[in-house]
Amino acid sequence: MTYRIAVLVSGSGSNLQALLDAEAAGELGAQVVFVGSDRADAFGVQRGLQRNIATAFVPLRQPRNPAVRAAWEGQLAAVVGAFSPDLVVLAGFMRVLSAAFLAHFPNQVINQHPALLPPDGGDTVRTSSGLTIPALRGAHVVPDALARGLPVTGCTIHRVTPTIDDGPILAQAEVPILPEDSVESLHERIKLEERRLLVAVVQRLAGGAGGARS
Ligand code: GRF
């Protein structure tokens, strides 16, 4: 049986592309069956369409209205659920999903975060060289890492729980910050690691669910 992945994107979708490329090369052990987005202009949507993958734009029109937000989550859960995914990958999906959404896909949602997160939900991270650095959470962690003058940052892939930027860690990589780094150059180096880790995590989860699949 095929290990089925739904991928949610809000932006360029280069991480989605890494999954699609690994799948096309026969290396993923999984199939991307659905791409969803809260943004019509997300290039990730085009990447899905180009591969002939079912794709949906599900707009959140009033993000601060709890009733609208709950209805949107219900719509998103319904359309994702219609594709019976084994795994839901938040690949640069810039909306927080509540416990109500997650309840539809228990222990099946993973997220990538462009910074190091601690295993214990704490406020600091210990790096491989023994440094203690702040755990960066939220949507601006790449500029935050630069603004704080950190020597190192990284990326984390974790299971999603109702607590933001938390949940069991599946993979992590450190990325040194160079003196000449801009937000763009640093984020691009982080994304290189994110793509590599994401493919490896999906391979592992798909493999664990039953080995090589056809
Ligand atoms: C990644 O850095 C991810 O961690 C963050 O958004 C970025 C998505 O990049 N949440 P892309 O859209 O896959 O190129």
How confident is the model over 137-182, as pLDDT tens digits?
999 999 999 999 999 999 999 999 999 888 999 999 999 999 999 9
Q: How far is the CA of 1 from the centre of ligand 1 (A)?
A: 29
Q: From atom 10 of ligand 1, which residue's Cα is the shortest distance away?
A: 92
Q: Please name which of 48, 21, 19 lies closest in space to residue 36, comparing C-alpha atoms.
A: 48
Q: How far is the CA of 92 from the centre of ligand 1 (A)?
A: 4
Let me know if residue 56 belongs to a domain: yes
The pLDDT, as a whole number, for residue 214 is 38
Let me know if residue 75 belongs to a domain: yes
The pLDDT, as a whole number, for residue 193 is 98
Boundaries of domain holding 112: 4-208
Let me know if residue 213 belongs to a domain: no
The residues, any chain, with a CB within 8 Å of residue 163's CB and separated by 6 or more, are 121
Q: Which of left, alpha, beta for 175 (phi over 0: left; psi -120 to 50: alpha)?
A: beta
Q: How far is the CA of 89 from the centre of ligand 1 (A)?
A: 12
Whether the per-residue pLDDT at 65 is higher than 90: the answer is yes
Q: How many CB atoms lie within 10 A of CB 14?
A: 18
Let me know if residue 214 belongs to a domain: no
Is 113 noted as a catalytic residue in this protein? yes
Q: Please name which of 22, 30, 25 lies closest in space to residue 5, comparing C-alpha atoms.
A: 30
Q: From atom 1 of ligand 1, which residue's Cα is the shortest distance away?
A: 92
d(CA 30, CA 40): 26
* CATH code of the domain covering residue 131: 3.40.50.170
Domain count of the chain?
1
Task: Pick the catalytic residue from 104, 113, 140, 158.
Answer: 113
pTM score: 0.95
Q: From atom 5 of ligand 1, which residue's Cα is the shortest distance away?
A: 92
Pocket of ligand 1 (CB under 6 A): 9, 11-15, 44, 91-92, 112-114, 191, 194
